[in-house]
Structure 1
Amino acid sequence: MDFEVLINDSFVNISDDESLHPVENKRVLSLLNDFEDGQWRYRKFQNFIWDNIAETALSFEERKCLVDQSHSILTAAAQNLRLTDKEKDIGKGSELAEIVLYGVMKHHYKALPVVPKIFYKQNSQDNAKGADGVHIVIENGDFSLWFGEAKFYTSIEDARLSSIVDSVGNSLKTDKLKKENSIITNVSDLDGLVEDEGIKKEIKSALSNKESIDYLKPRIHIPIFILHECEFTAQCNRMSDDYRNSVIEYHRARANSYFKKQIKVIGNLFGYGDVKFHIILFPVPSKDEIVNKFVKNVEHYKGQ
């Protein structure tokens, strides 16, 4: 992944309130695009979206059928995009944010996209509910489940952060988790993506509705991905330490504000300390310009 990592740290080292608990189950990741010829690199950002769009909008079997057919992959993926990003409301850009989250999960966390949510949102309204991204990370012979939230906001001040806390809390309800688990085990992508038969069997056993969610919570990670307009980014025309430090300071402050709210609202949830949370922040100069370019490209490929 070609984006610069500004912060990749445990919230323990970032928290400005020693009374907060628990903080050990939280991390902060801050990513940064760069500049060229005095401009934020919009094309680089759009390329990242389209390089990762197939894994978000196509099933594993569809992707296999279109191997080495790059143009066909793009046109097929575009057909499954709902273009809710054209809506003039708070949800504008949400589909784009889901795709970027998939790219970050793949390239930064080395995750497997076991449920391509845009594909299932397009093809089954029942499966559309729930997390914005569902991934599995296999590491050292073990696995973890990642249920992602993806947002694109013009502001990440406190009111917006509160709405994310509510969404995260809702996603951790037992019935919601069991629903996600049943989706994972009932789609064919898991069989195609996980090659180790032993781990695959272990995953399916752990996700069985017969098992208590309490045993699964230590394996659950919640990546909270927030694309956001940023005044520092909008006013900048080249990479510099001053710009980096401004974004770092702002993201540290926003991470503190977010996790304080989360602990206050859902910190008493049973097993909360077992679940791992990752806030991922990515600043952009203009939400409208990014969304409009994305929609234009989608419309182009939908017409192919």
Structure 2
Amino acid sequence: MILKGWPLDGNQSRLTPLTPRKALREAAKSVYTSEKYQKRGELGEILLHAIIRQEFETEPLISKIFFKDSANDTVKGFDAVHVVMNEGTMQLWLGEVKFYKSGTDAISDVIGELGVHLENNYLRQEFTAICHKVEKTDPLREHVDKLLHANRSLDEIFPELYIPVLLTYNSATLAKYQEFSKEYCEEIEAEFRKYYEKFQTLKLKADVKILLILLPMNTKELLVNEFDKKLKGLSL
């Protein structure tokens, strides 16, 4: 998987260039070193980051990892804060992740959480936090201030607000099939439709654009264990 940088003007980029090895080592030290890693959500946040960057060409506006007070802290609020520039207009992407074993539990929990996160007062607080965390020298700071200004109505902001929602789950279909086949396609599509229909019970503001991303896994435990081994090796 290749994550592309996004030059804003000429050869300038908002991201400080690092060698891949150094970048991975610094990220590993920033994420977590807890023995309770099975219950942590950073891997889900990384997956969401990678998916929306690759599939929708977003760019991270802020990284919440940098605002942790200690290595094992969690940061409240949305799980990703990305942007897309479209003909001079900024689209704000506020991502949510449920890195779960159960798809049903993931949907039930995210429905409740989105209901809270999209309340007017919560959004205003989140917008204020975002504005405070974007550096004044950032080339996108002017766009952020314009989009999220306190005097601007939410009705004006919603058309430029996207909510990508990543839900993971252990898939019975993936565990059943060892190779790609017509039967596999039919069963995985039926599995997706089941979760999609359940997610549609969510009642939100009509102007908010929600992108549901379903990521079936054979087993969550195997992925988490492998990630943790790699991460701990890098952070030494």
TM bracket (short chain) = 0.7 to 0.9
1:78 corresponds to which of 17, 21, 28: 28
Taking structure 1 as reference, are residues 81 and 179 closer, same or farther at Cα in structure 2, changes over 3 Å only?
A: same
Read off the aligned partner of 2:224 and give its amino acid letter. V
Read off the aligned partner of 2:132 and give its amino acid letter. N
Contact 2:34 2:72 in 1 (8 A): no
Q: Distance in 2 between matches of 1:209 and 1:124?
A: 32
Partner of 1:287: 220
The alignment partner of 2:152 has SS state of coil
Partner of 2:168: 227
Read off the aligned partner of 1:81 and give its amino acid letter. V
Which residues in structure 2 correspond to 1:1-12 (within 5 Å)?
Answer: none
Which residues in structure 2 correspond to 1:246-285 (within 5 Å)?
Answer: 246-260=187-201, 262-263=202-203, 267=204, 272-285=205-218
Read off the aligned partner of 1:167 and give its amino acid letter. E
1:139 corresponds to which of 83, 86, 92: 86
Contact 2:167 2:215 in 1 (8 A): yes
Partner of 2:50: 103
Higher percent of residues as helix: 1
Contact 1:85 1:93 in 2 (8 A): no
TM-score, L = length of structure 1: 0.67
Deviation at 1:191, TM superposition (A): 5.0
Q: Distance in 2 between matches of 1:85 and 1:259?
A: 36
Taking structure 1 as reference, are residues 189 and 293 closer, same or farther at Cα in structure 2, changes over 3 Å only?
A: farther
Contact 1:97 1:151 in 2 (8 A): yes
Q: Distance in 2 between matches of 1:190 and 1:107?
A: 27
Q: Distance in 1 between matches of 2:33 and 2:73?
A: 19
Taking structure 1 as reference, are residues 79 and 221 closer, same or farther at Cα in structure 2, changes over 3 Å only?
A: same
The alignment partner of 1:135 has SS state of strand
For structure 1, which runs of at least 5 residues remain unmatched after alignment?
A: 1-47, 53-59, 195-199
Calculate percent identity across the aligned residue pairs.
Answer: 26
TM-score, L = length of structure 2: 0.85
Aligned residues: 228
Which residues in structure 2 correspond to 1:175-254 (within 5 Å)?
Answer: 175-188=121-134, 191-192=137-138, 194=140, 201-254=142-195
Q: Distance in 2 between matches of 1:118 and 1:216?
A: 26
For structure 2, which runs of at least 5 residues remain unmatched after alignment?
A: 4-12
Read off the aligned partner of 1:222 and give its amino acid letter. I
Partner of 1:129: 76
Partner of 1:299: 232
Taking structure 1 as reference, are residues 114 and 205 closer, same or farther at Cα in structure 2, changes over 3 Å only?
A: same
Kindly indicate whether structure 1 or structure 2 has the higher relative contact order, using CA contacts under 8 Å at least 6 residues apart.
1
Partner of 1:113: 60
